[in-house]
Structure 1
Amino acid sequence: MQDNKIFRKILIFGIMASLILSVMVPIINAGNFQTTNITGNEVIENELLSTHKVLAEEGTATWCGYCPVASAQLYQCYTMGLDFSIVTLVADMNSYASSRCSELGLTGYPTVFFDGGYSKVVGQQSSYTVYYNTIIACGNRAVADISLNLHAFWLGSGQIGVNIDVTNNGGSTYNGHLHVYVTEETSRWDDASGAPYHFAMINNYAINQGITVSSSSTESYSSTWSGYTDISFSNIKVIASVFSNPSYTDETIAVDLEYPNSDPPSTPSTPSGSSTGVIGIPNTYSTSSTEPNGDTIKYGWDWDGDGDVDEWTNYYPSGTAVNTDHAWNSVGTYNVKVKAKDALGAESGWSSAKTVQITIGTPPNTPSTPTGEINGIHKTEYSYTAITTDPNVGDQIYYWFDWGDGANSGWQGPYPQGQSGSASHKWNTVGDFDVKVKAKDLAGSETDWSPLLNIHMGNTAPNRPTRPSGPPEGIIGKEYTYSTSASDPEGDTLQYKFVWGDGTDSGWIVTMFATHSWSEVGSYEVVVSVKDNWDQSPWSQPLDVEIFGGDLDVSAGGTYEGFTGAPISFTGTVIGGEEPYSWNWNFGDGENSSVQNPTHTYNTPGEYIVSLYVSDSQGSEGAGTTTAIISSNPPETPTITGKTEGAAGTEHNFTVSTTDPDGDDVYYWIEWFDGDTNGIWDGPYSSGDQVTFNNSWEEEGTYTIRVKAKDIYDKESDWGTIVFTAPKNKIRWFSLFDFLEHLFDRFPILQKLLNI
């Protein structure tokens, strides 16, 4: 019996221990918070780093308890052969490293910044795979096409000479920043576990400056770094990285120290290549040199014989024949020379000169007749092409189009021989035009004009104008104003003609409105037409106008203003005549009233012409007009719902809704934090619909989210708000009582086993 009790206690203890671990491990791991663009615990397979070498800058401190694991996991990736470099920024031991941590936006240790902050991983991780996958992803992102050539020379007494060439292989000027770090592979500083750091930055940068490199060119930078006198030749790794806006890495290179030498390269061979050439056409010249110590060599070309280097090449292995292209822009005789320089800056003498005679050459052949649209519409852009060849092999060609209307394309190109040149043009008037083209080569030799291409540019008549707008009722002898609107497909200037239905018209006028008075009682149809400089539109639909005698002085009051859905009170008055009076209101929206002082509700915003016709008991009559300006009601203040707390770096959803009193569609404008300037109107959405938006915040903090709405008439609501907090990640600690209570709730069998 006693043995059974002991076994029972051991069994219960084992069960409880297993359950405690199963519950506590997730709680403890929650403290290792990470912020990164890459997640997952499995290594990304078959992904090669292809665009550039990744830079990993680890922000750390010697007292940080979580940092040793992060350092070890990052170094594990390095030993696996991934193509990246590590710079360890020990902030409490190196003030320059601390400043770099601040630049990167470090908020806690450890944090590893990849490619200048393009991605970051914060906190201790459960496995190296988070770092591994982040390196893979960064290595495959699109970057500027930059090449680096770095040499670091041991000068003794704690000094290092640094030479770096930055080559821009892209098609536009590169503006960026260059960092050259000096690191110790095995650091003089230990982390909190007592293990030395790897690749810790020591002292200041060797180079820290902005750079500008033109397309397809190379810029060289050099400095002498001095720091600790006790550094070891075999323990130094020099790492260079270039960053472009917004400060992300485009390329990285890491080298060991070299011992310098003072032996310059041999004098290069006399340049070989053509002794003649044509302006603007590149010739290729070749040379080679050897470096006694096997260092790489770059070549400086003097293309005009003035004794100055006009162009430096990249570095090449010693003894390699190097080809360089050059084109001259002027006729003349040129003595071409070349010298060599090794990585330490030691230069050779000038080679013997190669004499080159540059001439104008033969002009291109006359271009063919241009091809393109021959029947078009004026003010519409059309493209035309032409083609020719040049007797000089390798020459390139420019084209100049004359459009026949006093305008031209200017020189377009250059284009390779046999490739069509093109240009576009639109003619502002209707008519016939002769298009022709000529060509020139790189030397500026021009051809004759091509045969003519005759084209015709026509016109499209203006669109039919809207029905005239104005009072539908009036009295004889009083002037009334009527208006319309119209458009022209080509945007031509329009003229307008109103026909009043009494045998008269306004004539062709440049305004969209005209005034008229009728001299006789009657019913009239008012129509309008428009014309541009060449064609006339169809006539508009008619507006029926009823003209009465002017015996009574009638007023319709106003101007009236209101909102859709809200009743407006109208007031009619009359002077003269004998009661009783007959009242007839026309509210301009198809509705009428026969009372003197009616109320009326409009359903659509707009400006309405309101007319009032009055007659008395003796048959006298009169009319008056006024205006009712109706605005839409703004939407209600939007509601925004969603979580009020969540993790930074994670997408969070919020639901927005509002109703519009008029049932109009609505748009939403959201500002995710104070000072947010990236908002835009999003929509339209139906009134009352619930719309989901999402956002993530990269940093912890409290954010006030604001949203407003507008209707299709741009009437805006007040702001609706919600406050969202992204707190700092914390480890949740349970009291023993809370934990046991939670445990017994999940596993009731324990209460029976323990008799509680």
Structure 2
Amino acid sequence: MKKIIPICIVGILLCTTFGAVAQSGDEKNQGNDMATHTVIGEYGTATWCGYCKYVHGALKALYKGGWHDFYYVSFVCDKNTHAYTRAITELGLTGYPTVFWDGKYRTDVGSTSSIPGDMSRFNSSIITCGARTVPNIDLTVSTVWLGSATMNITVTVTNNQASAYTGYLRCYVTEIESSMGWYDTAGHLYTFPFLQYAFNQAISVPASGSWSSSMIWNGALFNDGYGHTFAGLTQDNAFVIAAVFASSGGYVDETAGVRVGSNRPPNAPSSPNPANGATNVKLDPTLSWQCSDPDWFDTLYYDVYFEKDDATPDVLVSDDQTGTTYVPGDLDLESTYYWQIVVHDDKGATVSGPVWQFTTRGNSAPNIPSNPNPANESTDVPLNKILSWTGGDPDGDTVRYDVYFGETSPPPKVVSNQTGTSYTPGTMTPLTTHYWKIVSWDSFGLSSVGPIWEFTTSTAPNDPPVIPTLTGPSEGKVGETYTYNVTTTDPEENQIYFYVDWADGTNSGWLGPYASGHLLTVDHEWSEKGTFTIRAKAKDEHDSESDWATLTVTMPLKFRITTPFLSWLFEQFPNAFPLLRYLLRA
């Protein structure tokens, strides 16, 4: 059996009177790990199955990546009754998609609804199956193509053990990609779709001996169970996979596969972008193209040739890249460039694409600045207005702006080379006409001069004085005079006036004008007992008034001493009788 298989020789093409001979050992996945044997996945699917496209994509990606020794066969059950029998009747499939690994040693049912998610599941199953202890046997498959969908298939099983080996051989005839029009729901042709068996039988191999058998397989003599024969099978698209299942347990002991035909070269690169002969191409294009390979599992590499003014470009600017895009950088104006893609696959087959060419654009001046804000000839514009405009460039070039601004026409330049389309002039002079214009420049030095716009500012903003500060006695005696202080400031340092309401039906009227910050002193006498809320406010020379300031004052009744004896007593003893004095307010 295989322990370590060199990564060489998939098929040895021998010219004989019978045709080409292919021997097992597909180079894509042979010898890429230390598994005990080559694993096989039997994939149950249907063309209408919505989730099957993820599983199909995951199997293709794993196979193309070449990370593991494995093959897979797609049983498209709604298109082939033989596939239906194997997947559902024999393997017991209960729902699509399902992948049976190594004869159901591991089974992956359903999908994660993503190709990477399913790849992760299958990766685990392949590693687990590949680590199994299996009998020491070797399996080889060889074919001789006879033409007209016909080939001679030989399978050999070599027993390296000291005891006899019994098992069950299934040899699947498949296609690299379906020629029957069997697509998954993502629109991709099924890969390695099962057509019919070449061998489906029990085998017995003597100790240290071998078992070998050959058969002529003619696609015209087999059909899918719905009347469609496989007469359209071609040598380059045919692929034969054989697996030996243990007679006990039914798990796979070894797998081999062989491509009947030889490697096919890639298809020629096509669909260039920019299109061949394109004009007015931008100066920083991303070149792209399309390319495929009839052998979908081949990896393609691209060499990019790119040159200015040379119809046979030979300057290699990128080699062995796997992507189908190339960014040449900033190009020259009104210049013709030629480019060519040479593709080669991982088998060494090379195809040169046609030479394509395109011409870059010319250059137009930037757009004339427009849509001024404030609009031209506006009035009553706020003193702190931010100016803005619309600029841009018809070619999409980066545009920078010079700003001219002032109170004379033409205005002086105040800013050079800015990228934004707004300008903040700061606080402007009230009731004044201001002039401004914009000159735009592109990265190639072309400019566009905007018209001179104008607007007139509003009057200066006026705020009322600050609420006054009102201080003075908060209690006193009726009939006595008390002094109160009032002060405030004005934000614009305007002249101010004060007004005091004494809350007893009298007021000071407007007093002033005074300078901002002046301290006003006013006197008042109350004639009645009570509690009074004094109010004071201020206004500026534009009659903008502040809010009220308040101060609460209590005025008890003042008693008059009319008895001569009490008057004489208080005069003789000025510090005596405090309670009496308080009651009489003496």
- Greater relative CO, 1 or 2 (CA 8 Å, sep 6+): 2
TM, length-normalised to structure 2: 0.38
TM, length-normalised to structure 1: 0.31
Larger Rg: 2
